[in-house]
Amino acid sequence: MITGRTNVFGIMGDPVEHSLSPPMHNAAFKKLGMDSVYVPFHVKKGEIGAAIQGALAMGIKGLNLTIPHKTSVMEHLDELDHAAELIGAVNTVKFNNGAKGYNTDGRGAVRAIEEVTPVKNKKVVILGAGGAARAVSFQILLEGAGEVVIANRTVEKAKALRNDLVSNLDANVKSSDLDLEVIGEIQDADILINTTPIGMYPNIDDEPLVSADVMHENLVVNDIVYNPFETGLLKEAKKAGARVVPGTKMLIYQGVEAFKIWTGVEAPVDVFEKALMKELGLGEEL
């Protein structure tokens, strides 16, 4: 039962009603017997500053941010975690004598991949150069990846992200197109990550950016798209004998990371996963 002592957490976005975070967090609170609740807050574009002040005033303990607030929220926070500052986006806020912003998206992707293989000293090819690519590429380099290749249809965007990574982290980063150039990079890569929406529902019949004949059996392939559970890219990866990491894993681990930031408690990953799969109607995939 919710009382005046219940700790309140939530997610702010526009839209927010279809967020998959409340089922995961509330299942974990229930499992751990914590007097806490996680709720969605519909906050329109331009109103995030007032919403953060309101959350502080009401004693809300922590928030997630989704579209369109991940960058605009930053000017309303008192402090930024190093990774969030580099990435230039915040998806998690902790309230404790002020508001501190974090980005758990990249860390979620890394933890998902590290279920299968360590990222340290590995060569990683990232498809896309948008916000998700930025979060993943900064975090994977912070975690010790040896080389990163940013491949994008608009090569100028790939070069811009590459330059930002190099100037901030002095890392080994290349930019590439999505045609012949990227094929050579993938053939000797250890990890391939798709951060584009190609193949996302309802466009599940989109041709994958990379086909099986370009991949190899020692490759680990992660698609951050989680609907459908098995994207065209992951189907191609399986044909090549590569190991696959579905997009649900990043979604789970970004939530697990936020849970620990707020509570100091390691979240039960299996509980997060079961709640998410149930919400997606994919219980049989477990």
- Which among 44, 70, 159, 174 is annotated as catalytic? 70
For this structure, is 70 an active site residue? yes
- Tracing tokens 């919710």 back to the chain, one arrives at 2
Output DSSP code: residue 246: -
d(CA 135, CA 158): 14
Measured CA distances, 250 to 108, 113, 225, 246 (Å): 5, 8, 9, 8
Question: Looking at the chain, which runs of residues are DSSP E strands?
Answer: 7-13, 36-42, 62-65, 79-80, 92-95, 99-102, 123-127, 147-151, 173-176, 191-194, 220-223, 243-245
Residues recognised as catalytic: 70
